A = this chain, B = another copy of it.
Amino acid sequence: MRVFIAGIDGYLGWPLAQFLAARGHQVGGVDGYQRRQWVSEMGSQSATPILGMDNRKRAYQDAFGEKLWFREGDLTNWEFVRDSVSDFQPEAIVHLGECPSAPYSMIDLEHTVLVQQNNIVGTLNILHAMRDITPDAHLVKLGTMGEYGTPNIDIPEGFFEIEYQGRKDVLPFPRQAGSWYHWSKVHDSNNVMFACKMWGLRSTDIMQGVVFGTRVDKMQDDERMITRVDFDQAFGTIINRFCCQAIIGHPITPYGNGGQKRSFIPLKDSMQCLTLVVENPPATTEYRVFNQFQGVFTVKELALKVRQVAAEIGFDVPITNLENPRIESEDHYYNPKHQALLDLGYHPTEDIDKEVLMMIEDLMKYSDRIEAYKDVLIPDVRWNGSRKKVQTI
């Protein structure tokens, strides 16, 4: 299948290109390298030493025997999106090309507007390119489980049938996001749902849990193929940040009491799921929502898990709870469903400890790169609009 990856240079995009190529798909992609700039703006770098795209393309060709179709550009530029889609003629478009950071969107007004505008306009451009050029293509759009927030009822997959005052309907499940970034994803989900209804496009909107890990099945051992792993407050995801902390002897730092429950998924499971979605498109004109995660954990459980696994191989670090820079509940009900991907054949990784161990072993050799930027491990972007390093509680 001809699969177009928007954001192919990113944490998910680069391993997905490899995963799909290994399965025989023809992969193309675009990227404007914004993620590299944003992480640099946060005063950080990827823990792993990632190559530039020219060298990545060479490595890809060495590994898979064919050239990687790639264009550099910005998804908010309509002509660029139109020409890229027109030239590549995708059967599936995996849209990973959004700014994925809650803290980044909370820095100040400028960043709020940047994140909402970037994500909304990029998605509107892709929807219009699909309408005009490839109306039969399948849009695989990355949303986030964070769109739902933490309601006091079970979370279905996108839609639910309810009875209200004696009548029934199937309606979109209400969203209660927790940052300007998460709301930008809700706005996008709404825009995609509308485009499907109006123009007969088809899309799978993936509410993904927090991704962690370094490894992907079928990724070559070639270090040139490694993906980025961020550990700064804005672009580092929680388990990855905890592992980077442990490796350099830094305390593991949950926010608040750590009772927050969230959905998580190993990077390799994310690749498995995205591939299942690409290879099993919905009917024409269907808009469907999949909740994509392996399991639910509290932040406290994850801190303990990383601490224990790290200790087993000699990294013995304490857990230090920090003031929570976010405004969020630390004690709440959380029960999201995720049946659709299981029905398609998703086999969730069972041994999360082993994933954490592999990640720590992978990152150990880059501990100097983390150590050099360890200042970014303590957050200072606060949800109340101020900016000040949080303290131990």
Quick one: which of B153, B162, B175 contacts A153, CB cutoff 8 A? B162
Say how far A242's CB is from chain B's closest CB, in angstroms.
26
Indicate whether A174 reaches chain B with its CB closer than 8 angstroms: yes
Report chain B residues within 8 Å CB of A187.
Answer: 120, 183, 187, 190
Report chain B residues within 8 Å CB of A152.
Answer: 167-169
Q: Is A167 touching B153 in the complex (CB atoms < 8 A)?
A: yes
Given A153-B164, A167-B333, A198-B327, do A172 and B172 touch, yes or no (CB 8 Å)?
A: no
Given A113-B124, A120-B120, do A180 and B194 touch, yes or no (CB 8 Å)?
A: yes
Indicate whether A70 reaches chain B with its CB closer than 8 angstroms: no
- Chain B residue nearest in CB terms to A337: B165
Report chain B residues within 8 Å CB of A173.
Answer: 174
Indicate whether A109 reaches chain B with its CB closer than 8 angstroms: yes
Q: Is A175 touching B199 in the complex (CB atoms < 8 A)?
A: no
- Chain B residue nearest in CB terms to A194: B183
Digit string of A166-196 for contact with B (CB within 8 Å is 1, else 0)? 0111011111110010010011001100100
Say how far A198's CB is from chain B's closest CB, in angstroms.
5
- Chain B residue nearest in CB terms to A182: B194
Indicate whether A125 reaches chain B with its CB closer than 8 angstroms: yes
Of the listed residues A174, A176, A177, the one surrounded by the most CB atoms of chain B closer than 10 A to its CB is A174
Q: Is B183 touching A191 in the complex (CB atoms < 8 A)?
A: yes
Report chain B residues within 8 Å CB of A199.
Answer: 384-385
Indicate whether A56 reaches chain B with its CB closer than 8 angstroms: no
Q: Is A172 touching B175 in the complex (CB atoms < 8 A)?
A: yes
Digit string of A93-122 for contact with B (CB within 8 Å is 1, else 0)? 000000000000000010011001100110
Say how far A173's CB is from chain B's closest CB, in angstroms.
7
**Roughly how many angstroms separate A187 CA and B147 CA in the complex, as a whole number?**
13
Q: Which residues of A105-162 have CB atoms within 8 Å of chain B's CB atoms? A: 109, 112-113, 116-117, 120-121, 124-125, 128, 131-132, 151-154, 160, 162
Indicate whether A383 reaches chain B with its CB closer than 8 angstroms: yes
Indicate whether A197 reaches chain B with its CB closer than 8 angstroms: yes
- Chain B residue nearest in CB terms to A159: B174
Indicate whether A78 reaches chain B with its CB closer than 8 angstroms: yes
**Roughly how many angstroms separate A88 CA and B197 CA in the complex, as a whole number?**
44
Say how far A344's CB is from chain B's closest CB, in angstroms.
23
Given A109-B78, A171-B174, A191-B183, do A384 and B198 touch, yes or no (CB 8 Å)?
A: yes
- Chain B residue nearest in CB terms to A200: B384
**Roughly how many angstroms separate A173 CA and B167 CA in the complex, as a whole number?**
15
Report chain B residues within 8 Å CB of A120.
Answer: 116-117, 120, 187
- Chain B residue nearest in CB terms to A165: B154
Report chain B residues within 8 Å CB of A333.
Answer: 167
Say how far A139's CB is from chain B's closest CB, in angstroms.
16
Q: Is A190 touching B186 in the complex (CB atoms < 8 A)?
A: yes
Q: Is A121 touching B113 in the complex (CB atoms < 8 A)?
A: yes
Report chain B residues within 8 Å CB of A128.
Answer: 109, 112
Q: Is B167 touching A176 in the complex (CB atoms < 8 A)?
A: no
Report chain B residues within 8 Å CB of A131.
Answer: 385
**Roughly how many angstroms separate A158 CA and B367 CA in the complex, as a whole number?**
50
Report chain B residues within 8 Å CB of A132.
Answer: 385
Say how far A103's CB is from chain B's closest CB, in angstroms.
13
Report chain B residues within 8 Å CB of A154.
Answer: 164-165, 167
Report chain B residues within 8 Å CB of A327.
Answer: 197-198
Query: Lowest 9 A-B CB distances belong to which pairs?
Result: A152-B169, A171-B174, A187-B187, A153-B167, A109-B128, A153-B164, A172-B174, A153-B169, A154-B165
A-B contact pairs, 19 of them (CB 8 A): A112-B124, A112-B128, A113-B121, A120-B187, A131-B385, A151-B169, A152-B167, A153-B164, A162-B162, A171-B176, A172-B175, A174-B174, A177-B194, A180-B191, A183-B187, A183-B190, A183-B191, A198-B383, A198-B384
